[in-house]
Structure 1
Amino acid sequence: MGSRAEDYHDIAARAQQGVFDSIPRKWRLPAELKQHYDGHAASFIPTCGFLDERTLAITNLSATELLGQIHTGQLSAAAATEAFCERASLAHQLCNCLTDFFPEEALEYAKSLDDEFARTRLIVGPLHGLPMAVKDIMHVKGKKTTMGWVSWADNPLSTIESSPAKVMRDAGAVFFGRTTMPQTGMALETISNLWGRTLNAHNAAFGSGGSSGGDGVLCALKGEPAAPITTDIGGSIRAPAAFNGLYGMRPTAERVPRHNMIAVAPGNISIKVSAGPNCHNMADLKTLTRVLLEHKSLPYEPTTVPGSWSDEPAVSRPLQIGVIFTDGIVEPHPPVKRALRETVSKLKAAGHQVFDFPVPFDLWQAALTTWALYFQTGAAEHKAILAEGNEPMIPQFEHNLRVFGTRELTVPELLRHNSQQAAYKAAFQEAWDQQAEGMDCIICPCAPMASVPHDFPVWWGYTTLFNVLDYPSVIMPVKDLKINPEDDPKDMSYQPKDNAFDKKNWEIYDPELWQTQPVTLQIVGRPCRDEALIAVSEAIDLVVNGL
């Protein structure tokens, strides 16, 4: 534990310097290159001349492509690990996405995989040789977990492994680092007093999303081929995917192994955390989700139903698709609306049936229930850890606690909110069932904006709705849509709604500022029908992106 006598700024400086010192000198950006950096890491890294052609070629492979080459002997796990570690070091130096980096250890393990493969011609599992980092919310044996808390900066090394991390290691993945997350884990931007701010992959003026922002940026910058186990209790898989232009999936939480995952208030199980991938295409999303949900090496995992997977055939029939254009609380920015309109137009032209889906309850009231269930003790545990490190709250967390009136619940109040959550689930299922042709999925925004400016109190409602319902959802980029002032002008006649989010959301929008940012959509499926959702999402991706 960090000493109370030591100022939190000093603890942070020491921790951050330790990560930088772990980067081999040969991978440190020279000053003459840094002076040309314009804040756009995604375009700078492949063109700055620091990485050689072989490293660029390896790191441009998707996870599926990389595994295919490793498993057929065309590429060694060691070569893949070295290439991605080098690119990860650049991603960190530009965007601050790592809390720990151990490339030598990773390379040693990758070489042992290569030796075993050379001897037996067998792979140890479906992810044999996949380089990856693990979010700083999970135990990894022999590594420290801080969750962005100053008072946890000197935590002892873990002697156990969280179930999602164990599933990945057992499947053959090669761990080389830990990724950043925000203080408390409850923010859609990644910033902490301990590790600092993680910057967006496309524009340093924006945040990386949260809480899996380190993974989102590292994956977007191709410092890892995919981020297989980002986590989500309110949008923490989906926001980093959306704000960095990736594919992502929040599986049904009840299907995800969660034993030994770290929680500040572990007895709070009203809304369960999920884990799933950020990645570059649907093929990777399917492969990584399958490994996690099958969790073959943990057949008696206590936190979930027995692992299973049922392959769905490719969709060859017209789909029935509901659309939520707005939740009525915070109006999406013009490019988000345009992405929805153009997607609907393409889907209709391809013969799919698309129609409005009205949410059958008040979404502000649902948000009040959601935030009450997040912090049943009034965030007492979070506040105690902050006090222990003598550190202030980050702005997003403070704003949401205040707006939603977070306080300790009485037992009758808790029972009432849990009953309300059950009522929302029943009402949503009934509304879905009432669609005459049978609805395959819902398309809606992931957030009201394409990316979040620093410290901005972004509205979570487009993601938290599906946490409180526990519906699986996929994030998909709309790849040919580029934000510009001509197509996405600010609506100066708009009259903001009377709540703590909508006016701020409207006021901050500037199409000139957002021009660099990708635009994505959220595709939502039925609970525990994750395989069907992936099949439907693949069909939509084919129509919208030609992929």
Structure 2
Amino acid sequence: MDTLHEPTPSSVCPLGGQLQHAWERIAEQKRQSELAKIPGEWVLAPSVVAEAKNLPSLTDPPFIESLLDAETCRITTTDATELLQQMASGELTAVQVVISFCKRAAIVHQLTQSLLEIGFDIAIRRAKELDEYFATANQLVGPLHGLPFTLKDQFHVKGLETSMGYVGWVDTFEGQKGTNKERRFESELVREFNTLGAVVIGKYMGEGVMQALRGSVFGIGTDIGGSVSMPASYNGLFSLKPSNGRISMKGAAGPSPGQQIMPAVAGIMAVSIATIRLVLRSLLSTEPWLHDPYIVPIPWRETEEYHAESGDLDEPYRPAFGIMESDGVVTPHPPVQRALKAVKEALSRLGHKMVPWEPPSNQESEAIHGQIARGDGCADVWEVLQLSGEPEVYEIRGLFEPDGPRDPLPLLKYQEIVAHMKDYRNRYQEYWMSTAENSGNGKPVDAFISPVTVTAGLLPDKFCYGGYLSCVNVLDLPAVVVPVLFADKNIDKADENFQPLSHVDKTNMDAYDAEAYHGSPAAVLVVGRRLCEEKLLSLAQMVVDALHTGGPDSGC
């Protein structure tokens, strides 16, 4: 989960003082080696970095864009489809586009330390190849020709290292030396992007920041408990977390590689649903199931047209939506409540039926999720930390015993939890089908809308509940984040008569601070049926269009 607040100056060791341990020295050398990849003319003056540190937020575009020339600003604020059109017409070259985004990404990195691997030189070389192809063939290499993107540092890219932020993985291949794979191996997803013409410019552990500040056209993250959806929500972005089997994870590094009951999935973050649709459609055009046996052989399906099945065909079919304003476990903060209300009212104005969504409890899915995701005791994470001697960061310290990982769950206990998961999925499916009684069109609701999390933005040590997201991972459902509005301290006041539903509910609402959350994006989650990403993206766009038709809260 990433945020734009409190950037770390690139010239200052975040540990402070003298580096005492070998792992600290390795980490600092790695940071400096990546910074050295930034061309001198793109390096910010210390005074600029200091100025950025004093800003309450970096989301104000004029600050970033004041550091860029007009041409770079124009290119990096142009929509993906328009960039492709301009490259196809010869108005722009791939080199121009890639250099512009590399320059902007370099500034973003110096202000936020969001990149683990910088690949500007590799990207520019690839852009030159694309331009040479275009000059000869008079056509684009593929549907993503020349579009710069960034991706999470779980994916292997030739010429770049993969560390995932682990010091013990620096100068290795997933912790092993002498494998002949270091900087040579390529993940399947990266291969697909190369054939499509997309250009990787770097790898990160904080894509929400890079997308919010327009450091690349789109970003690829991974999600097993909200790591795509939460950063998108907290940074005012759109995202898609697909069902398992739509986007390849073959050849990607990551924790618990043998855990296939609820595996991590690759997701997409961008500034528009149109860009996400373009990326997913393009990936599926490569027929990834021919290279990855875990991808379902479902090509891109054009979204069905919503027409009534009987009667006047000119009468449009209006999808019905479930709406979960609270799951009865933890109440969302006031800005999130307002975002949900805005969506509900916007869709209702257009005639969509809004059905109260009261499925099997998120508390149940939260319990299932934690036991499956951490059933191995996180032994693999502990072992990687031991490679360098680096300590676990504060946020994950509770996962371990003082002297090592926790014991893994016994096999029979694990199977019992999986059986519970299967039963939960069956009951959830039955509930969804039952909504046909109240949808107004005789069919189950097409998607349901809920909070992404209970908060708008993220304050340190204030996150206490992830049930709204854990259910989509447990159920393997696709989910789209739609930004709605910004928290406003003058509107989003705490309810003095609030009655907590539980101890966790009280803890969460006690942590609400209207002043601290002021200006943070508040989003909603639109969740669809399993493996129905194309339809879900269409439904999410309906939500966006409804918000923009007017009203007091008409969207970010």
Structures share fold, TM-score greater than 0.5: yes
CA contact (8 A) 1:276 1:292 kept: no
**1:421 aligns to 2:421 (yes or no):** yes
Give 1:542's aligned residue: 545
Give 2:31's aligned residue: 16
CA contact (8 A) 1:164 1:275 kept: no
Whole-angstrom CA distance in 2 between matches of 1:400 and 1:322: 35
1:216-231 maps to which residues of 2 (within 5 A)? Answer: 216-227=208-219, 229-231=220-222
Secondary structure of 1:396's aligned partner:
helix
CA contact (8 A) 2:378 2:399 kept: no
Amino acid at match of 1:166: R
Amino acid at match of 1:445: P
Whole-angstrom CA distance in 2 between matches of 1:80 and 1:133: 14
Alignment equivalent of 2:69, drawn from 20, 34, 52: 52
Give 2:185's aligned residue: 160
Secondary structure of 1:471's aligned partner:
coil
Whole-angstrom CA distance in 2 between matches of 1:382 and 1:495: 40
**1:468 aligns to 2:474 (yes or no):** yes
Give 2:159's aligned residue: 142
Alignment equivalent of 2:58, drawn from 41, 45, 52: 41
CA contact (8 A) 2:462 2:511 kept: no
Secondary structure of 1:42's aligned partner:
coil
Whole-angstrom CA distance in 2 between matches of 1:406 and 1:323: 39
The two structures have a TM-score, normalised by structure 1, of 0.87
CA contact (8 A) 1:294 1:307 kept: no
Alignment equivalent of 1:299, drawn from 290, 298, 308: 290
Whole-angstrom CA distance in 2 between matches of 1:504 and 1:13: 38
Amino acid at match of 2:365: A
The two structures have a TM-score, normalised by structure 2, of 0.86
After TM superposition, give the deviation of residue 423 of structure 1 in Å. 0.8
CA contact (8 A) 1:321 1:443 kept: yes
Alpha carbons of structure 1 residues 291 and 336: separation in structure 2 relative to 1, 3 Å:
same
Once the two structures are overlaid, the 10-residue window that deviates more, 445-454 or 481-490, is 481-490
**1:487 aligns to 2:491 (yes or no):** yes
After TM superposition, give the deviation of residue 223 of structure 1 in Å. 0.7
CA contact (8 A) 1:87 1:222 kept: yes
Give unpaired runs (5+ residues) of structure 2.
1-19, 174-181, 307-315, 550-554
Whole-angstrom CA distance in 1 between matches of 2:202 and 2:362: 39
Whole-angstrom CA distance in 1 between matches of 2:64 and 2:33: 28
Residues 246-298 of structure 1: CA distance to partner in whole angstroms, max 9, x if unpaired? 01001111222221121322111110221121011111111112223444366
After TM superposition, give the deviation of residue 545 of structure 1 in Å. 2.9
**1:384 aligns to 2:390 (yes or no):** no
Whole-angstrom CA distance in 2 between matches of 1:461 and 1:166: 35
1:53-452 maps to which residues of 2 (within 5 A)? Answer: 53-156=70-173, 157-180=182-205, 214-227=206-219, 229-296=220-287, 299-313=290-304, 315=306, 316-360=316-360, 362-399=361-398, 407-435=407-435, 436=437, 437=442, 438-452=444-458
Whole-angstrom CA distance in 2 between matches of 1:401 and 1:293: 39
After TM superposition, give the deviation of residue 104 of structure 1 in Å. 2.0
Amino acid at match of 2:257: P
Whole-angstrom CA distance in 1 between matches of 2:192 and 2:423: 34
State the superposition RMSD in angstroms.
Answer: 2.1
After TM superposition, give the deviation of residue 230 of structure 1 in Å. 1.5
Secondary structure of 1:75's aligned partner:
coil
After TM superposition, give the deviation of residue 350 of structure 1 in Å. 1.0
CA contact (8 A) 1:134 1:165 kept: no
Whole-angstrom CA distance in 1 between matches of 2:85 and 2:63: 23
Alignment equivalent of 1:31, drawn from 18, 34, 46: 46
Whole-angstrom CA distance in 1 between matches of 2:164 and 2:67: 32
CA contact (8 A) 1:446 1:521 kept: yes
Amino acid at match of 1:343: V
Q: Which has the larger radius of gyration?
A: 2
Whole-angstrom CA distance in 2 between matches of 1:313 and 1:18: 50
Give 2:11's aligned residue: none
CA contact (8 A) 1:45 1:90 kept: no
After TM superposition, give the deviation of residue 7 of structure 1 in Å. 3.0
After TM superposition, give the deviation of residue 524 of structure 1 in Å. 0.3
Residues 423-463 of structure 1: CA distance to partner in whole angstroms, max 9, x if unpaired? 11111111000112321100000111011113544422211
Once the two structures are overlaid, the 10-residue window that deviates more, 66-75 or 317-326, is 66-75
Secondary structure of 2:521's aligned partner:
coil
Alpha carbons of structure 1 residues 265 and 31: separation in structure 2 relative to 1, 3 Å:
closer
After TM superposition, give the deviation of residue 369 of structure 1 in Å. 1.5
Amino acid at match of 1:391: E
**1:533 aligns to 2:536 (yes or no):** yes
Whole-angstrom CA distance in 1 between matches of 2:286 and 2:207: 21
Whole-angstrom CA distance in 1 between matches of 2:489 and 2:514: 5
CA contact (8 A) 1:476 1:520 kept: yes
Secondary structure of 1:475's aligned partner:
strand
CA contact (8 A) 1:313 1:535 kept: no
Residues 206-251 of structure 1: CA distance to partner in whole angstroms, max 9, x if unpaired? xxxxxxxx22111110110111x22111111111111110010011
CA contact (8 A) 2:362 2:470 kept: no
Residues 180-199 of structure 1: CA distance to partner in whole angstroms, max 9, x if unpaired? 2xxxxxxxxxxxxxxxxxxx
Residues 89-109 of structure 1: CA distance to partner in whole angstroms, max 9, x if unpaired? 111111111011121221111
Whole-angstrom CA distance in 2 between matches of 1:507 and 1:149: 35
After TM superposition, give the deviation of residue 497 of structure 1 in Å. 4.7
CA contact (8 A) 1:399 1:457 kept: no
After TM superposition, give the deviation of residue 142 of structure 1 in Å. 2.5
CA contact (8 A) 2:335 2:522 kept: yes
Whole-angstrom CA distance in 2 between matches of 1:266 and 1:426: 26
Residues 21-47 of structure 1: CA distance to partner in whole angstroms, max 9, x if unpaired? 211111111234334321422215556
